[in-house]
């Protein structure tokens, strides 16, 4: 069923040996689109193997049951830590895009969702990190920045009360892992979206390629999904 909703995704492995990120999109029979970006915590083989499964479960459920249901369904797969307490965990951003152009977002952790209205790029999500909590409570920015890698809520502990939701009205929606968002300043990100907004596949490829290494030479996995509506 043609809907006019277009999706594109791309991922790029960082300087570790495996990619703990994953992305998936799914179009339901009625034309509603589900999408999910998963960012696995750590780089164990189990994490990189499970991340694509989490993304598929979240995207397919989101297309038929909504973004929150998609996220919570994926959460069930990582809710048990296993007998050794070492089972994979992740953070996520999940989207449901409706035929009227609105996109529901549910997220946990530090994946992000942005909307582009043709002029302005807006960040609609707030990361669930210790750094963001400190920042919102008036801590100096340099202290808060040092705690941005500490997530307060993960997919393994996601319930309705710990998951955030927002609706994006913009015709272009971006789901990003922190490997993209952390490494591209907002103004540069907006410039890339402005340049490639009409070509979703070029946009996601450009976003993951633009993520650079930090001062220590470490570059995180980078993953992006773009959803466009007429």
Among 228, 223, 16, 229, which Cα is nearest to 112's? 223
- In angstroms, the Cα distances linking 82 to 71, 79, 109 are 20, 9, 21
N-term to C-term CA, the chain: 15
- Give, for 165, the enclosing helix (H) or strand (E): strand 164-168
Q: Is the pLDDT of residue 1 over 80?
A: no
**What pLDDT, on the 0 to 100 scale, is given for residue 150?**
74
- In angstroms, the Cα distances linking 124 to 53, 101, 200 are 26, 16, 19
Q: How many separate domains does the chain show?
A: 1
What does the DSSP assignment read for 86-120? ----EEEEEEEE-TTS-EEEEEESS-EEEEE-SS-
Q: Is the pLDDT of residue 128 over 90?
A: no
**What pLDDT, on the 0 to 100 scale, is given for residue 71?**
98
Mean per-residue pLDDT for 53-59? 98
**What pLDDT, on the 0 to 100 scale, is given for residue 88?**
93
- Give, for 58, the enclosing helix (H) or strand (E): helix 45-65
Mean per-residue pLDDT for 132-156? 80
Binned at pLDDT 50, 70 and 90, residue 24 comes out as very high
Confidence (pTM): 0.93
Contact 132, 79 (CB under 8 A): no
Binned at pLDDT 50, 70 and 90, residue 3 comes out as low
Q: Is the pLDDT of residue 227 over 80?
A: yes
172-224 per-position pLDDT tens digit: 999 999 999 888 999 999 999 999 999 999 999 999 999 887 777 888 899 99
Q: Average pLDDT over the chain, rounded to whole?
A: 92
Domain presence at residue 204: yes
**What pLDDT, on the 0 to 100 scale, is given for residue 2?**
52
Domain presence at residue 174: yes
Contact 119, 188 (CB under 8 A): no
Helix and strand numbers, DSSP H then E, in the chain: 7, 10
Domain presence at residue 92: yes
Binned at pLDDT 50, 70 and 90, residue 132 comes out as confident
Binned at pLDDT 50, 70 and 90, residue 164 comes out as very high
Segments forming the whole domain that contains residue 122: 6-228
Torsion of CA 130, 49, 51, 202, to 10 degrees: 110
Distance of CA 220 to the CA centre of its chain: 14
DSSP, res 202 = H
What φ, ψ does residue 164 adopt, rounded to 5°? -100, 150
Order of strands across the sheet that contains 121-123: 6-12, 222-228, 172-176, 112-116, 121-123
Contact 207, 194 (CB under 8 A): no
Domain presence at residue 1: no
Domain presence at residue 40: yes
Domain presence at residue 57: yes
**What pLDDT, on the 0 to 100 scale, is given for residue 131?**
66
- Give, for 205, the enclosing helix (H) or strand (E): helix 200-210
Domain presence at residue 45: yes
Q: Is the pLDDT of residue 109 over 80?
A: yes
Q: The CATH number of the domain where 195 resides is what?
A: 3.60.40.10
């Amino acid at each position: 069923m043609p809907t006019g909703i277009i999706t594109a995704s791309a991922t790029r492995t960082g300087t570790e040996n495996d990619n703990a990120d994953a992305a998936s999109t799914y179009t339901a029979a009625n034309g509603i689109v589900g999408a999910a970006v998963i960012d696995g915590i750590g780089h164990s083989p189990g994490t990189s193997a499970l991340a694509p499964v989490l993304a598929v479960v979240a995207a397919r459920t989101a297309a038929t049951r909504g973004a929150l249901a998609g996220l919570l369904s994926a959460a069930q797969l990582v809710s048990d830590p296993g007998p050794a307490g070492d089972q994979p965990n992740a953070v996520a951003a999940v989207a449901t895009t409706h035929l009227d152009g609105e996109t529901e977002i549910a997220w946990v952790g530090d994946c992000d969702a942005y909307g582009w209205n043709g002029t302005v790029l807006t960040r609609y999500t707030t990361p669930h990190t210790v750094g963001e909590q400190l920042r919102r409570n008036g801590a100096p920015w340099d202290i808060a920045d040092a705690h941005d890698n500490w997530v307060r809520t993960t997919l393994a502990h996601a319930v309705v009360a710990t998951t955030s939701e927002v609706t994006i009205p913009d015709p272009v929606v971006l789901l990003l892992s922190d490997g993209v968002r952390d490494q591209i300043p907002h103004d540069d990100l907006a410039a890339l979206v402005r340049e490639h907004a009409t070509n979703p596949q070029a946009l996601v490829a450009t976003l993951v390629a633009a993520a650079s290494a930090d001062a220590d030479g470490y570059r995180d996995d980078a993953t992006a999904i773009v959803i466009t509506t007429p």
